[in-house]
A = this chain, B = another copy of it.
Protein backbone atom coordinates (compact mmCIF):
# COMPACT_ATOMS: atom_id res chain seq x y z
CA UNK A 1 0.00 0.00 0.00
CA UNK A 2 1.09 3.57 -0.70
CA UNK A 3 3.96 2.35 -2.82
CA UNK A 4 4.06 5.39 -5.12
CA UNK A 5 4.53 7.83 -2.28
CA UNK A 6 7.02 5.68 -0.42
CA UNK A 7 9.12 5.03 -3.50
CA UNK A 8 9.03 8.71 -4.24
CA UNK A 9 10.41 9.59 -0.80
CA UNK A 10 12.97 6.82 -1.03
CA UNK A 11 14.43 8.22 -4.20
CA UNK A 12 15.92 10.84 -1.91
CA UNK A 13 15.98 9.52 1.66
CA UNK A 14 15.73 6.12 3.34
CA UNK A 15 12.77 5.52 5.61
CA UNK A 16 11.95 2.73 8.01
CA UNK A 17 8.45 1.29 7.97
CA UNK A 18 7.71 3.26 11.13
CA UNK A 19 8.98 6.47 9.70
CA UNK A 20 6.98 6.11 6.55
CA UNK A 21 3.88 5.19 8.54
CA UNK A 22 4.39 8.32 10.59
CA UNK A 23 4.86 10.49 7.52
CA UNK A 24 1.67 9.05 6.11
CA UNK A 25 -0.34 10.30 9.08
CA UNK A 26 0.26 13.83 7.84
CA UNK A 27 -1.33 13.15 4.47
CA UNK A 28 -4.83 12.63 3.24
CA UNK A 29 -5.91 11.00 0.02
CA UNK A 30 -8.45 12.20 -2.47
CA UNK A 31 -9.67 11.31 -5.94
CA UNK A 32 -10.78 13.82 -8.51
CA UNK A 33 -12.62 13.32 -11.78
CA UNK A 34 -11.59 14.66 -15.14
CA UNK A 35 -12.38 18.34 -15.33
CA UNK A 36 -12.55 18.87 -11.57
CA UNK A 37 -10.85 21.85 -10.04
CA UNK A 38 -8.60 21.19 -7.07
CA UNK A 39 -8.57 24.90 -6.43
CA UNK A 40 -9.67 27.98 -8.25
CA UNK A 41 -8.78 31.65 -8.28
CA UNK A 42 -9.50 33.33 -4.95
CA UNK A 43 -9.44 30.07 -3.00
CA UNK A 44 -7.09 29.90 -0.06
CA UNK A 45 -4.52 27.26 -0.95
CA UNK A 46 -4.33 25.08 2.12
CA UNK A 47 -2.54 22.08 0.70
CA UNK A 48 0.29 20.79 -1.41
CA UNK A 49 -0.52 17.80 -3.60
CA UNK A 50 1.43 14.73 -4.56
CA UNK A 51 -0.03 13.11 -7.64
CA UNK A 52 -0.08 9.34 -7.45
CA UNK A 53 -1.93 9.04 -10.74
CA UNK A 54 -3.48 11.37 -13.26
CA UNK A 55 -2.63 14.71 -14.78
CA UNK A 56 -3.15 18.31 -13.72
CA UNK A 57 -2.62 21.73 -15.18
CA UNK A 58 -1.83 24.84 -13.18
CA UNK A 59 -3.01 27.81 -15.15
CA UNK A 60 -3.69 31.50 -15.08
CA UNK A 61 -6.19 33.61 -16.98
CA UNK A 62 -5.04 37.07 -17.99
CA UNK A 63 -7.14 40.20 -18.35
CA UNK A 64 -8.28 39.10 -21.80
CA UNK A 65 -9.45 35.76 -20.41
CA UNK A 66 -6.61 34.08 -22.23
CA UNK A 67 -5.27 31.00 -20.50
CA UNK A 68 -1.58 30.56 -19.72
CA UNK A 69 -0.34 27.26 -18.38
CA UNK A 70 2.27 27.58 -15.65
CA UNK A 71 2.85 23.85 -15.45
CA UNK A 72 1.55 20.40 -16.11
CA UNK A 73 1.89 17.92 -13.29
CA UNK A 74 1.66 14.18 -13.56
CA UNK A 75 2.37 11.03 -11.57
CA UNK A 76 5.08 11.53 -8.97
CA UNK A 77 5.00 15.29 -9.18
CA UNK A 78 4.14 17.74 -6.50
CA UNK A 79 1.86 20.57 -7.36
CA UNK A 80 0.27 23.57 -5.71
CA UNK A 81 0.43 27.31 -5.89
CA UNK A 82 3.41 27.25 -3.58
CA UNK A 83 3.34 30.94 -3.04
CA UNK A 84 -0.25 30.86 -1.81
CA UNK A 85 0.40 27.61 0.04
CA UNK A 86 3.35 28.89 2.05
CA UNK A 87 1.52 32.07 2.93
CA UNK A 88 -1.90 30.41 3.26
CA UNK A 89 -3.42 33.02 1.04
CA UNK A 90 -5.69 33.31 -1.99
CA UNK A 91 -4.40 32.07 -5.29
CA UNK A 92 -4.73 33.67 -8.69
CA UNK A 93 -4.40 30.30 -10.40
CA UNK A 94 -6.61 27.36 -11.26
CA UNK A 95 -5.51 23.80 -10.64
CA UNK A 96 -7.57 21.54 -12.86
CA UNK A 97 -7.60 17.82 -13.59
CA UNK A 98 -6.98 16.97 -17.22
CA UNK A 99 -7.56 13.32 -16.32
CA UNK A 100 -9.05 11.52 -13.34
CA UNK A 101 -6.44 12.05 -10.67
CA UNK A 102 -5.53 10.66 -7.24
CA UNK A 103 -3.52 12.75 -4.85
CA UNK A 104 -1.95 12.68 -1.43
CA UNK A 105 -2.24 16.11 0.10
CA UNK A 106 -0.70 17.78 3.11
CA UNK A 107 -1.42 21.00 4.97
CA UNK A 108 1.21 23.60 5.73
CA UNK A 109 0.96 22.63 9.37
CA UNK A 110 1.48 18.98 8.45
CA UNK A 111 4.41 19.93 6.29
CA UNK A 112 6.03 21.80 9.17
CA UNK A 113 5.34 19.14 11.76
CA UNK A 114 6.64 16.45 9.48
CA UNK A 115 9.81 18.43 8.83
CA UNK A 116 10.41 18.95 12.54
CA UNK A 117 9.51 15.50 13.76
CA UNK A 118 11.24 13.63 10.97
CA UNK A 119 14.17 15.83 10.02
CA UNK A 120 15.12 13.70 7.05
CA UNK A 121 12.07 15.12 5.40
CA UNK A 122 13.74 18.49 5.29
CA UNK A 123 16.39 16.95 3.13
CA UNK A 124 13.65 15.61 0.93
CA UNK A 125 11.80 18.91 0.60
CA UNK A 126 15.02 20.75 0.04
CA UNK A 127 15.91 18.43 -2.79
CA UNK A 128 12.52 18.90 -4.42
CA UNK A 129 12.60 22.62 -3.99
CA UNK A 130 16.05 22.89 -5.51
CA UNK A 131 15.02 20.76 -8.44
CA UNK A 132 11.94 22.90 -8.93
CA UNK A 133 13.95 26.08 -8.78
CA UNK A 134 16.52 24.85 -11.26
CA UNK A 135 13.74 23.69 -13.58
CA UNK A 136 12.05 27.08 -13.47
CA UNK A 137 15.29 28.80 -14.31
CA UNK A 138 15.64 26.57 -17.35
CA UNK A 139 12.15 27.50 -18.43
CA UNK A 140 12.87 31.21 -18.00
CA UNK A 141 15.95 30.87 -20.15
CA UNK A 142 14.02 28.95 -22.72
CA UNK A 143 11.35 31.67 -22.87
CA UNK A 144 14.02 34.34 -23.19
CA UNK A 145 16.21 32.69 -25.79
CA UNK A 146 14.30 30.34 -28.02
CA UNK A 147 11.70 30.53 -30.77
CA UNK A 148 8.32 28.82 -30.47
CA UNK A 149 9.60 26.11 -32.77
CA UNK A 150 12.61 25.34 -30.63
CA UNK A 151 10.50 25.44 -27.50
CA UNK A 152 8.07 22.98 -29.01
CA UNK A 153 10.88 20.63 -29.94
CA UNK A 154 12.38 20.91 -26.47
CA UNK A 155 8.96 20.12 -25.03
CA UNK A 156 8.56 17.02 -27.17
CA UNK A 157 11.97 15.82 -26.11
CA UNK A 158 11.50 16.60 -22.44
CA UNK A 159 7.95 15.32 -22.01
CA UNK A 160 7.28 12.83 -24.80
CA UNK A 161 4.54 11.17 -22.75
CA UNK A 162 2.61 14.42 -22.32
CA UNK A 163 2.32 14.84 -26.05
CA UNK A 164 -0.17 12.00 -26.12
CA UNK A 165 -2.13 13.15 -23.11
CA UNK A 166 -2.47 16.87 -23.70
CA UNK A 167 -4.10 18.76 -26.56
CA UNK A 168 -2.06 21.02 -28.81
CA UNK A 169 -4.12 23.92 -27.58
CA UNK A 170 -2.85 23.25 -24.07
CA UNK A 171 0.72 22.83 -25.21
CA UNK A 172 0.49 26.16 -26.98
CA UNK A 173 -0.76 27.81 -23.78
CA UNK A 174 2.21 26.30 -21.97
CA UNK A 175 4.76 27.36 -24.55
CA UNK A 176 3.43 30.89 -24.82
CA UNK A 177 2.40 30.71 -28.48
CA UNK A 178 -0.97 30.88 -30.13
CA UNK A 179 -2.64 27.61 -31.07
CA UNK A 180 -2.52 28.60 -34.74
CA UNK A 181 1.17 29.32 -34.76
CA UNK A 182 1.91 26.02 -33.05
CA UNK A 183 -0.16 24.21 -35.65
CA UNK A 184 1.78 25.85 -38.47
CA UNK A 185 5.17 24.90 -37.04
CA UNK A 186 5.10 21.36 -38.33
CA UNK A 187 3.53 21.83 -41.74
Describe A's contact surface by its main secondary structure.
helix
Indicate how many identical chains form the complex: 2
Q: Judge if A185 is at the interface, Cβ distance under 8 Å.
A: no
Residue interface mask A109-151, B partner, CB < 8 A = 1: 0000001000100110110011011101111110111000000
Q: Judge if A86 is at the interface, Cβ distance under 8 Å.
A: yes
Q: Which residues of B contact A115 (CB under 8 A)?
A: 123, 126
Give the interface of A toward B (CB within 8 A): 60, 62, 66, 68, 70, 82-83, 86, 115, 119, 122-123, 125-126, 129-130, 132-134, 136-141, 143-145, 176
Given A122-B123, A126-B122, decide whether A143 and B145 contact each other with a Cβ distance below 8 A: no
Smallest distance from the beta carbon of A80 to chain B beta carbons, Å? 11
Contact in complex: A82, B144 (CB < 8 Å):
no
Q: Which residues of B contact A176 (CB under 8 A)?
A: 143-144
Give which listed residue, B60, B83, B140, contacts A70 with CB less than 8 A. B140
A143 nearest CB neighbor, chain B only: B143
Would you give 23 A-B contacts (Cβ < 8 Å), ordered by A?
A: A60-B141, A60-B144, A68-B141, A68-B144, A70-B140, A70-B144, A82-B133, A83-B138, A86-B134, A115-B123, A115-B126, A119-B119, A119-B122, A122-B126, A125-B126, A126-B126, A129-B130, A133-B136, A136-B139, A139-B140, A140-B140, A140-B143, A143-B144
Whole-angstrom CA separation of A132 from B144 in the bound complex: 18
Contact in complex: B122, A82 (CB < 8 Å):
no
- Beyond contacts A68-B144, A122-B123, A143-B143: 12 other A-B pairs, Cβ-Cβ < 8 A, are A60-B145, A66-B145, A68-B145, A82-B130, A82-B133, A86-B130, A115-B126, A119-B119, A122-B122, A122-B126, A129-B130, A144-B176
